Amino acid sequence: MNPNFASYPFVSALKHRRSRRLCLGMSLDGGPLAFKSRYAPVPLSETEEALMAFAACGITGCALADLSYVADGGGNIMAGLIGRTIASGDGIQTVNLVTVSDSGAYLYRRPQEMPPTEIAEIAHLSESNEFLQAARRIRVQISDKRVRTRSEPIFNINANRWSVHAPGTTYFLPINELTFMYVNGLLEILNEHTGVYVLDERAGFCPAGLAKFAKSKGGHLSDNPADGKVATIAVVERLVTEFVTVEQGMMLQNLGLMAQTLGLGGFPNFANHEFSWCEALGFRMQQMAASKYLGVRGLTAIGMKLLGKDNEVPLPLGLERNGEPLLKFYAPPYFPSMRAAVEAVAEHKFGKKGVFGGSPSPTPWKDSTLSAKVSGLSDKAIAATIAYCEYVWDRYGRFPALMPPFRTVLGFQAGHLDLEFYEKFYPPGALGETQRVADALLEKRVA
């Protein structure tokens, strides 16, 4: 690893970042780039993994949360005040990071999964460039061996089969938890100031539990399509999914820039499967009939059963160790009801120990009492959100209705490059200074 990594120019990282895939110990069998590395795989060092993880999800201190906090200003959509190396909608930090290597798998906890007293200490370690110590404080080992998924389509794509799970490489896997963002967003769009009215397109465009809240019935939600505030469940859930997936993209960009800085090989890697990675990592899974999973009812559901097409579909629920959840979603079985799940989100934001409670810790402002002056959630917004969430749960037996609560899209595979491959097939510009420095230092490390 380049000891001068901290002074490597950001613009240089942008200019020279490339996906570089062939690492020590790998081989490409056949085709115009056929090549077999003559070296044994060399895993990333613990420090290299820590630096990559810091780029993806390092805790850096408080979010500034510089918003309008008047009643209709929208600032109370914030649900977290801790910043990481990537931005996060509403400060929620929806995306978790898992690393997988020959030595095992680790979960890097998000700020909300850590005691508040640790946050300032870890941010200080990061500020002091003590990245390895910070990583050790954040991560939790969830496996003592390399976790593997199936590599053939549709679990992966053909282009990645030759390299995925290669010895010596480390796989950095972002995992989104969708439900907190979902509920928090509902509390915003279903309040008096926004007033969105949601229909269920898979149930004849009937109100999604919100009929009594419609303005035409004396409520506060705009059910007149002419107002431009009528949406569907699919539209709302697609918005949530796209919003949180952007955070994964920022993780991947940071991982690519750090790989360039350290002189490592690395590239984004297909991980878009509804349950494969969660199942491999040991998530608690629920088996659902395909008809229920897809929200199919009536004659179609009966036909699926009669024709033997109503197969079981795995649904990830959470990641647990020793009976305690490391990752959970805001729905049963982790809450007794959807009402309880919504109330838990409201409590996280405005309870006595909440983000805007009496004395949150840490806080971005000089005067910590400012938190208590933030406008709270309205009773109408909470009631409408509960009604909507209960409808989705009762109608579809899961939450969200259209996708699993945990989502993987792309991972990032990193390793030490075999420079001989690039020197054989590519002009000199394919490799830069950082790759050559890293290779020279690696020779000394393994000598």
Task: Report the SS3 class of residue 335.
Answer: coil
- Report the CATH architecture of 5-446: 3-Layer(aba) Sandwich (3.40)
d(CA 381, CA 205): 22
| pLDDT tens digits in sequence order for the chain, 447 residues long | 667 788 999 999 999 999 999 999 999 999 999 999 999 999 999 999 999 999 999 999 999 999 999 888 999 999 999 999 999 999 999 999 999 999 999 999 999 999 888 999 999 999 999 999 999 999 999 999 999 999 899 999 999 999 999 999 999 999 999 999 999 999 999 999 999 999 999 999 999 999 999 999 999 999 999 999 999 999 999 999 999 999 999 999 999 999 999 999 999 999 999 999 999 999 999 999 988 888 888 888 889 998 998 999 999 999 999 888 999 999 999 999 999 999 999 999 999 888 888 655 678 998 888 888 898 999 999 999 999 999 999 999 999 999 999 999 999 999 999 999 999 999 999 999 999 999 998 877 775
- Residue ranges of domains in the chain: 5-446
Query: Beta partners for 141?
Result: 106
Helix%, strand%, coil% for the chain, nearest 5:
40, 20, 40
Whether the model pTM is above 0.85: yes
Give the amino acid at 249: G
d(CA 136, CA 359): 28
For residue 293, the model assigns a pLDDT of 86
d(CA 106, CA 142): 5
The two structure tokens encoding residue 407:
């989502």
For residue 371, the model assigns a pLDDT of 85
356, 371 in Cβ contact below 8 A?
yes
The two structure tokens encoding residue 444:
């000394």
Distinct helix (H) and strand (E) counts, the chain: 13, 17
